[in-house]
Amino acid sequence: MYETIDLDRIDSIQTPPEEEPARQYYFLARCRKYVENESRRMGRALTARVVTFGCQMNARDSEKLSGILKEAGFQTADDEEADFVIYNTCTVRDNANQRVYGRLGHLNSLKKKNPRMKIALCGCMMQEPSVIEKIRKSYSFVDLIFGTHNIYKFAELLSAMFEQEGMVLDIWKDTDRIVEDLPASRKYPFKSGINIMFGCNNFCSYCIVPYVRGRERSRAPRDILREITSLVSEGVVEVMLLGQNVNSYGKNAEFSMTFAQLLEEVEQIEGLKRIRFMTSHPKDLSDDLIQVMKKSTKICRHLHLPLQSGSTRILEAMNRKYTREQYLRLADKIRREIPDISLTTDIIVGFPGEEPRDVDETIDVIQKVGFDNAFTFLYSRRTGTPAAAMANQVMPEVAKEGFDRLLKVVQDTARQNILRLKGQVLDALTEEVNEQDEHFLTGRLSNNTIVHFRGDKSLVGKIVKVHLKECHGFYYVGELLSE
Ligand code: SAH
Ligand code: SF4
Ligand code: F3S
């Protein structure tokens, strides 16, 4: 494991080893020398800042980037006035891209004040050739660019950036590789994301993810279990298993294990208290999974099950591979088997060809299923996806009208649903001291609802019993009963 490696004993003058992860340890040792020398020259520690856009997968990737930077000797900066800034980008919707461009302008002004500052970009946006072209032309002050497939090479790329002049650019089209045993620096000491698979093979017609994250690859069960066991020994009590479609875990893999079986194995890990996962595609959600969730004492009572649309016609055009009725039946079955479960979802409004009557159908599904929360997105046309080439794009005003109508139903339904918890006493994992009032703590229930309660900061990271007293729309204020 990584923890047993002494970087200072690696001879970084010799030629680098070919095999991984030894090669990255070697470059990490080189980075450490560089950071040491620079710090000496400047008479202060070097600082680094990782900025994350996008989903949980990116958040976990950023912890890996932070792990490398920490091992290289950087101190964490609280803002972007740092010696090294890296943006881990998202491209799922155009507004994610625009935010990156906007902030890059600001970084340029910071770099003018600190000319030795280094700027790096990585993540999903970098897998798009048009983005790379634009950055080379208009943002040539960027020092390092890499993509999603070679993030494991971060130490090597960092070392190249320190040692050579001009922009370092390394983008791969795809990969079948998974490199284990690299460091990660967790945001929370008591909970962690765990990648169980990478990439996506579903090609929903609106979605860019399969193009920028590549083909589906499942991590070997023994590597996942070993990582979780080691995290638990460091104090982690809650894990979130991550993949674009966790229900297809193990498909086309050398080993034979389904997602439901993997969950059963994870459940056995002593000391682990809570298991979450994200995201489930409705088309692959098995009865076995429902039964494993039902029996489990550790799997949280929350399922995020993206609907996208409640109209079968639109679902078909989206290539989602289920109908409105199949989704409703599935939700019904889950609710019957696990009555205290919270269902949440994602919805897109304004997909090509969508008409007000399709939005009505989506609204109907929302009301029938009674989601606890739904993330609603305006359709964003992503170049290269099949939906982008469809002729019947929806006018922005029409999409916005549908979006507003839908959002209101989503909020009303969620508000009504969450009321059912009033008066109950439930376990909450205390996540942090409340931002507004330091006498209050913020915790998360098994079903993902947030609760604020009065308590001491020593409880952060602990699971406590909370009496849910007042419902404030999407969250509760409660009273701490016991630890
Ligand atoms: N793998 C997950 C979703 C990943 S992207 C799944 O299949 O559910 C997260 C959400 O972004 C999606 O569920 C979808 O609702 C939304 N999304 C993806 N592409 C989009 C686009 N082009 N425009 C608007 N929303 C989009
Ligand atoms: Fe995108 Fe569909 Fe894959 Fe989710 S399952 S990442 S929405 S292509
Ligand atoms: Fe965005 Fe990439 Fe995640 S496009 S949503 S960061 S997989």
Q: 216: CA distance to ligand 3 center in Å?
A: 14
Count the Cβ atoms, other than its own, within 10 Å of residue 261: 16
Tell me the CA end-to-end span of the chain in Å, nearest whole number.
Answer: 34
CB of residue 194 inside a 6 A radius of ligand 2:
no
Find out whether the beta carbon of 124 lies less than 6 Å from any atom of ligand 3.
yes
Q: Are 431 and 478 in contact (CB under 8 A)?
A: no
Cβ proximity of 447 and 476 under 8 Å = no
CB distance 52 to ligand 3 below 6 Å: no
Task: Identify the nearest ligand to the CA of 57 by its number.
Answer: 3
String of DSSP letters for 262-322: HHHHHHTSTT--EEEEE---GGG--HHHHHHHHH-SSB-SEEE---B-S-HHHHHHTT---
The pick from 53, 56, 57, 279 for probing ligand 3's pocket by mutation, whose C-beta has the most ligand atoms within 8 angstroms, reads 57
Contact yes or no for 258/264 (Cβ under 8 A): no
Nearest CA to ligand 3 atom 3: 55
Would you say 231 and 269 are in contact if contact means Cβ atoms under 8 Å apart? no
Report the 10 Å Cβ neighbour count for 171. 17
Ligand 1 pocket member 248 (CB < 6 A): no
Cβ distance 268 to 297 under 8 Å? Answer: no
Calpha distance 7→67 (Å, rounded): 14
Give this prediction's pTM. Answer: 0.95
243 pocket-lining for ligand 1 (C-beta < 6 Å) = no
Each residue's pLDDT tens digit in the chain (483 positions)?
A: 566 677 777 776 678 999 999 999 999 999 999 999 999 999 999 999 999 999 999 999 999 999 999 999 999 999 999 999 999 999 999 999 999 999 999 999 999 999 999 999 999 999 999 999 999 999 999 999 999 999 999 999 999 999 988 999 999 999 988 998 888 999 899 999 999 999 999 999 999 999 999 999 999 999 999 999 999 999 999 999 999 999 999 998 999 999 999 999 999 999 999 999 999 999 999 999 999 999 999 999 999 999 999 999 999 999 999 999 999 999 999 999 999 999 999 999 999 999 999 999 999 999 999 999 999 999 999 999 999 999 999 999 999 999 999 999 999 999 999 999 999 999 999 999 998 899 999 999 999 999 999 999 999 999 999 999 999 988 999 999 965
Query: 292 CB contacts (<8 Å, ≥6 apart)?
Result: 260, 263, 264, 299
Ligand 2 within 6 A of CB of 281: yes
Does ligand 3 lie within 6 Å of residue 151's CB atom? no
The residue count of the chain comes to 483
Q: Which domains does the chain have, with CATH numbers?
A: 2-170 (3.40.50.280), 188-300 (3.30.750.210), 326-419 (3.30.750.200), 422-480 (2.40.50.140)
Q: How far is the CA of 207 from the centre of ligand 1 (A)?
A: 6
CB 245 near ligand 3, within 6 Å: no
